Chain A
């Protein structure tokens, strides 16, 4: 009896030693890998080399520990996949269960409403402004979610439509003095038109080509805005854009920010309702089917190009609308606000939250926009973390924090 236990223990110990050895090798490898970039910094003007050995130590220890976590997560994911294959995956997230039950759902919504209404009156203008930004990203995320999450089209130039909206308000306001409320629908329509114009030629392409072409389009629009001085005032941008008014009444700065906040709350609710209705509609089901299998979809009589175009243009419409609001909120825009990194940020919101899941996108946007604001120390690492999140989510949890539950019809005898 005792011998057996000792043997078991020895095997376990051997595995542990092996694991430690593996992690040690990983940490050595990363120390080698990051050596020139992390350790050496050359000041080429003063001709001095700065050696930062401390960074090497951090990388070594960090990668040693992280490699344990990495392997553990991979193992867990594999086990999860095996469970799914044998049909034992009855586990759903707590939030999803709450949403399904009315008894939790109603108080939750009431609570959220109270918080949302009280927020601008209890917190400072600065906090309200940050929250408004977060709400804008929620809407952008939900818009992109139609394209990426539902229809499965990877759009890397989403920010182009955002720029179209912002510039249409700025220019119409500058040249013709048009107000916010009259431009908001114009921005949406322009976004839609651009979506159709850009989408029509490229949507016949396969998924990965589509990603690159949309990225190219996004960059072209930004470069044109930057270089075409007569039209867009170039890199210096457009300033003194009017804030939104209310039937001709102009607000003070504080009132305007509260007003914008409630406007965004309204837009978020509107977007949620629309996207939710779309998801369960004929078009929505066609999108999801198209995402899963194009060939089968065509065989079922779905017009591939038309369906894709609808997703693309609808996503663009929302970007156009938020663009108008963005211009009205900041009262100054220039092409630097519409770089590829902005598209990448919106994409990581969708990826983190869960592609196709409305609640997921909302939570993703709140995490990714609010956390860097409050954790100022990390704000430099913001894009680094966004990049890492995209990789980590894809490797370990491609369905996002909150997976989208597909409607299934169960047959009970």
Chain B
């Protein structure tokens, strides 16, 4: 029973981090119908930035809390900046191109960013310091849940509530929904579509960076390749829930996290990634619209 509970909590933690990354995919897809392949790399850059700033700030003698806050903040800022720049370079000139072009451009960007980090930093796994302090009250339950798991669950739920608020109740959110529905029409009623798209990329990247910091300090090591697998898994989550739908992405991510947790816990951990890919293939074949997605009909 305890093992079962541990697996559930582990799955939820995993799932909520996938959710943070999946939101970026789903938001971008909702607005410009593009699978932003480079999204996983944005997350990886977030983790690297956090690691670099943590080390530098610790060596400069800042105290622990300041290091956590500043490192996370810089990760969020830098990831957003990268997301914004990637959109301007690789996707904006291709707004009117055929569907295949931005997709190939996105794959190119992803490979480019991976190798950029590989060449500028290192190909080795780097140890990532555990930024999250241990809580006293959690001690008796340590074998079931760790304090980093609690922090992850809390942070992701807060981020999601804020995001929902932003999209439902603010002017920017309204503009985003309008652009997602019909870009031309949104332009006609005076929405600055390019700005909305930039904002979407920035928000998505910021969430991914948050996920990057959390998972890196939870797992304890990072390298330049973490973005690729995480990106595909988050994409799986987004598709599972119905791409373009924000609650769908969260739901899909949790389902994926739990599936992986149980599959590795009860079957075998060698095939961890195979389960995720297998799940992705199965959903796309049997229910391509996802759990909460609408079935779209093609306009002629």
Contact = CB atoms under 8 A, between A and B. Distances in A.
Contact of B104 (A213, A217, A220, A347): A347
Interface string B38-62: 0000000100110111011001000
B81 A32 contact: yes
A41 B115 contact: no
A202 interface: yes
A156 B281 CA distance: 14
Interface stretch (B166-174, B184-192, B272-280): B272-280
B56 A49 contact: yes
Contact of B280 (A36, A55, A216, A348): A216
A152 interface: yes
Interface string A64-97: 0000000000100000000000000000000000
Main secondary structure of the interface of B (DSSP, over half): helix
Interface in B118-160: 119-122, 126-127
A224 B274 contact: yes
Contacts of A156: 107
A391 B273 contact: no
A33 interface: yes
B168 to A, nearest CB: 27
B264 interface: no
**A154, A207, A384: residue with the most chain B Cβ atoms closer than 10 Å:** A384
B253 to A, nearest CB: 16
B52 A74 contact: no
Interface string B88-122: 01100110011111111101111111111101111
A390 B107 CA distance: 8
Interface string B250-293: 00000000000000000000110110011011001100100000
Interface in A375-413: 380-381, 383-384, 386-391, 394-395, 398
A390 B35 contact: no
Interface residues of B, number: 64
A213 B115 contact: no
Interface string A13-29: 00000000000000001
A205 interface: yes
Contact of B110 (A205, A387, A389): A387
A40 interface: yes
B126 to A, nearest CB: 6
**B51, B113, B119: residue with the most chain A Cβ atoms closer than 10 Å:** B119
B228 interface: yes
A387 B111 CA distance: 5
A272 interface: no
A391 B38 CA distance: 12
B110 A217 contact: no
Interface in A201-260: 201-202, 205-209, 211-213, 215-217, 219-220, 223-224, 227
Nearest to A29: B85
Contact of A37 (B120, B235, B270, B300): B120
A219 B126 CA distance: 24
B93 A74 contact: yes
A37 B104 contact: no
Contacts of B284: 202, 205, 209, 212-213
B78 interface: yes
Contacts of A213: 280-281, 284
A272 B178 CA distance: 49
A366 B2 CA distance: 59
A47 B271 CA distance: 36
A341 interface: yes
Contacts of B119: 380-381, 384
Contacts of B226: none
B85 A347 contact: no
B203 interface: no
B35 A211 contact: yes
A68 to B, nearest CB: 15
Contacts of B121: 37, 41
B24 to A, nearest CB: 15
A74 B93 CA distance: 8
Given A36-B49, A390-B111, A398-B97, A44 B270 contact: no
Contacts, number: 161
Contact of B112 (A32, A206, A227, A388): A388
Given A227-B270, A340-B228, A394-B108, A154 B115 contact: no
A146 B138 CA distance: 59
Given A207-B100, A295-B300, A341 B274 contact: no
A295 B101 contact: no
Nearest to B90: A391
B105 A227 contact: no
B101 A387 contact: no
A220 B282 CA distance: 13
B202 to A, nearest CB: 14
A284 to B, nearest CB: 18
A47 to B, nearest CB: 7
B120 A394 contact: no
Contacts of B82: 33
A351 interface: yes
B59 A47 contact: yes
B271 A227 contact: yes
B102 A212 contact: no
A344 B111 contact: yes
A37 B52 contact: yes
A57 interface: no
B51 A42 contact: yes
Contacts of A206: 288
Contacts of B97: 394, 398
A41 to B, nearest CB: 6
A37 B45 contact: yes
Given A36-B49, A202-B281, A390-B105, 12 more contacts: A32-B81, A37-B48, A152-B100, A156-B107, A206-B288, A213-B280, A220-B274, A223-B274, A381-B115, A387-B109, A391-B90, A391-B109
**Which 6 pairs show the lowest CB-CB distances between chains A and B?**
A390-B108, A387-B112, A387-B111, A216-B277, A394-B105, A384-B115
27 contacts: A37-B49, A37-B52, A37-B117, A37-B121, A40-B52, A41-B120, A42-B51, A44-B126, A49-B59, A156-B107, A205-B285, A208-B33, A211-B103, A212-B284, A213-B284, A217-B281, A220-B274, A220-B278, A223-B274, A341-B111, A348-B108, A351-B104, A383-B111, A383-B114, A384-B111, A384-B112, A384-B119
